[in-house]
Structure formats: structure tokens, C-alpha cells
């Protein structure tokens, strides 16, 4: 008999009763920039994933006055268009070329794509120019860092300057004379809390890093598990679990894994205050995750265009609405 699990669903849902999810601001400077809509029928919203204000046609010019990142790291541009102000998903806007104000450090070497692909962008997190596929290489002329401290490598792509994010690449510096030995750097101190338990990968994969956001040691694939000996919190408040990977200490980010504590005391089930409603939701983005509780363990996902019957709704501590479905 098929087991039904009550799940709660968020992100990019269409329902008659809709409350937007407010996300933290991401400041990128006070100057304005222009851009062009590159996709047909793009929504102008009150906030990222918020209420729809208008539908903007492909080719429409917009004035960009600011930007935000949502919880998945996607950029939304705050724009003025058709005498209205709102937010549009960043990937559907091509930024007009402006004089670069990117602080770069000259660098000689090459990069090689170590994942399925790596996107080439006009600027860090800017418009996508194209992509390099697994195994392809490119010569590097400079590097820069974004506001999160991540490195971007500057290359030439189809005769234009482009930038590649450090993720999914290996960088090889150009041959230089051997430098004089330097003292071995001291590894940064990581404040850890000892815990005992295990984690299991609930997404396609989860990367294992030397330190939180540090060098990638490898990855665990969907369904794989590992014993956890400690946890730590990064500067954004996200949890990293310490595991053993190929005989070395490694850290796995809380996203895409489910953690189970060893022999925990039986917790009291949290009370979710619900309001009964009847309706249907439809996924309008690539996917929407289904969770056991608001922001809880991921049960799976619904893909673009899929629908589900709604039996209730609830609000989380940020005032965002979650819809209860059968999954």
C-alpha cells in the first residue's frame, strides 16, 4: 500500500491565496544600470517570488536600480519598467555592457572544467554568455572576488571577456621559477561542537570540503551516509557536519543532507498551527522542495508544471506561508 506523507511545500507556488516569501537584501552598489529582457513573458513581482505586478515582453528595456539574492543564491534585479518598480529574475535580463569597475588581480594560468559544465558570465553573477563543458580548458588572465569571497577567473570566451566561478574548476598556474620556501600557514581555527550521529544525502550529491567553504575533497552521492563527529556554524549561520572522508576530516553543508542524532531523547513533536483550506498549487519554477515541516527534512520535490491538492496552510516565524499537501 502506498504510504502518504503529509508534506509542506514552499517556493514559487501558484494558489488563489498567496503570500510572498521575503528574502534578505543583497546590496551591489548605488548606481543604476540598464538591461534587456531576454525571455518571453517574464513576471515583474513585488519582491523575489512575491506577488505578480505585470508581465514584461522579451526585448523590453529595464532600468536596474538594485539587486537581491534569494535563499538559493539566485539573483533578482530591482527594476523600473513601464512606469512600475518591482523585481525580475536575474537570468532573464541581459545587462547592457558598461565600463568595468571590477577589481582584478593579474593572473597567468589555465582552468579546466571538472563538473558537467561551468557557466561563463559577463561579470561575476552577471549575464550568462555561454558555458564550457567537462574537460574543456581556458587561459586565465586575471582573477577577482565577489562579495561572498568566492574567486572568479577572467577568460576570453567567443572573443569577449568572461568570468568563471571557482566551483567546478581546477586552476593550474603558469610555470614560474620555484619560489623560496615560505612558512606553512596555520590552519584557521574552527569552533566545533561535538555531536554523534549520521547524515544521509537527500539530493543528487553533497560536496565534502576541507573546511567550511574550503577546498573540495570530493562528494557523497544520493543515498550515501556518513558518521558525524562534530558540527560548526559558518558566518551565515549555516551548519556544517564534520565527517571522515577518504581517511581525512571533511565538512558537509546542511543543505541536501538529513542528519540523525545518535540515540536522541524522544522529542516532543512540534505543533504546527494550521488553517484548513482547499485548493490546488502548481509549480512555476524548475522545482519546489517538499519538506516534512516548514524548513524541515526534505522529502522530495515537485517539478515544473506538476500540481498538488492543498488541505491546509501555515506560517513560519518569518511570516512566510507554507502549503500542506499529500506527497
Average pLDDT value for residue range 187-198:
83
The residues, any chain, with a CB within 8 Å of residue 219's CB and separated by 6 or more, are 205, 206, 207, 208
pLDDT > 70? residue 1: no
Asked whether the domain spanning 105-173 has the same topology as the one spanning 17-95, the reply is yes
DSSP state of 40: S
Per-residue pLDDT tens digits for 278-322? 999 999 999 999 999 898 899 999 999 999 999 999 998 888 999
- Domains of the chain, by residue range, sit at 17-95, 105-173
Judged on CB neighbours under 10 Å (0-12, 13-18, 19+), 259 is middle
Cβ atoms of 147 and 28 closer than 8 Å: yes
Per-residue pLDDT tens digits for 126-162? 778 899 999 999 999 999 998 778 899 999 999 999 9
Is the pTM above the cut of 0.75? no
Q: Maximum CA pair distance of the chain?
A: 71
CA distances from 38 to 59, 93, 324 (A): 6, 6, 35
Measured CA to CA, the distance from residue 298 to residue 319 in angstroms comes to 20
The 10 Å CB-count burial string (b at 16+, else e) for 47-68 is bbbbeebeebeeebebebebbb
The residues, any chain, with a CB within 8 Å of residue 282's CB and separated by 6 or more, are 13, 14, 305, 306, 307
CATH number of 105-173: 2.30.30.40
CATH 3.40.50.10490 fits 17-95, yes or no: no
SS3 at position 189: coil
Amino acid at each position: 500500500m502506498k504510504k502518504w506523507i503529509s508534506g509542506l511545500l514552499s517556493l514559487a507556488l501558484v494558489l488563489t491565496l498567496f503570500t510572498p516569501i521575503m528574502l534578505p537584501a543583497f546590496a551591489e552598489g548605488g548606481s543604476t544600470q540598464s538591461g534587456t529582457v531576454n525571455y518571453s513573458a517574464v513576471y515583474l513581482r513585488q519582491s523575489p517570488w512575491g506577488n505578480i505586478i505585470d508581465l514584461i515582453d522579451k526585448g523590453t528595456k529595464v532600468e536596474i536600480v538594485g539587486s537581491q539574492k534569494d535563499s538559493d543564491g539566485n539573483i533578482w534585479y530591482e527594476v523600473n519598467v513601464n512606469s512600475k518598480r518591482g523585481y525580475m529574475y536575474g537570468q532573464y535580463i541581459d545587462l547592457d555592457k558598461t565600463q568595468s569597475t571590477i577589481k582584478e588581480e593579474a593572473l597567468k594560468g589555465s582552468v579546466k572544467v571538472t563538473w558537467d559544465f561551468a557557466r561563463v558570465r559577463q561579470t561575476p553573477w552577471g549575464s550568462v554568455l555561454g558555458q564550457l563543458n567537462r574537460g574543456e580548458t581556458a587561459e586565465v588572465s586575471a582573477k577577482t572576488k565577489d562579495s561572498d569571497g568566492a574567486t572568479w577567473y577572467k577568460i576570453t570566451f567567443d572573443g569577449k571577456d568572461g568570468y568563471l566561478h571557482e566551483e567546478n574548476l581546477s586552476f593550474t598556474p603558469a610555470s614560474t621559477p620555484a619560489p623560496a620556501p615560505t612558512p606553512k600557514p596555520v590552519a584557521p581555527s574552527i569552533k566545533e561542537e561535538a555531536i554523534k550521529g549520521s547524515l544521509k544525502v537527500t539530493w543528487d550529491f553533497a560536496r565534502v570540503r576541507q573546511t567550511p567553504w574550503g577546498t573540495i575533497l570530493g562528494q557523497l552521492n544520493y543515498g550515501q551516509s556518513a558518521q558525524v563527529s562534530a558540527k560548526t556554524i559558518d558566518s551565515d549561520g549555516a551548519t556544517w557536519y564534520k565527517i571522515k572522508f577518504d581517511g581525512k576530516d571533511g565538512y558537509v553543508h546542511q543543505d541536501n543532507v538529513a542528519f540523525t542524532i545518535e540515540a536522541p531523547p524522544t522529542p516532543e513533536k512540534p505543533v504546527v498551527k494550521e488553517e484548513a483550506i482547499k485548493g490546488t498549487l502548481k509549480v512555476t519554477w524548475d522545482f519546489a522542495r517538499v519538506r516534512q515541516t516548514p524548513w524541515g527534512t526534505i522529502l522530495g520535490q515537485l517539478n515544473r508544471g506538476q500540481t498538488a491538492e492543498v488541505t491546509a496552510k501555515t506560517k513560519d516565524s518569518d511570516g512566510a506561508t507554507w502549503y500542506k499537501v499529500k506527497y
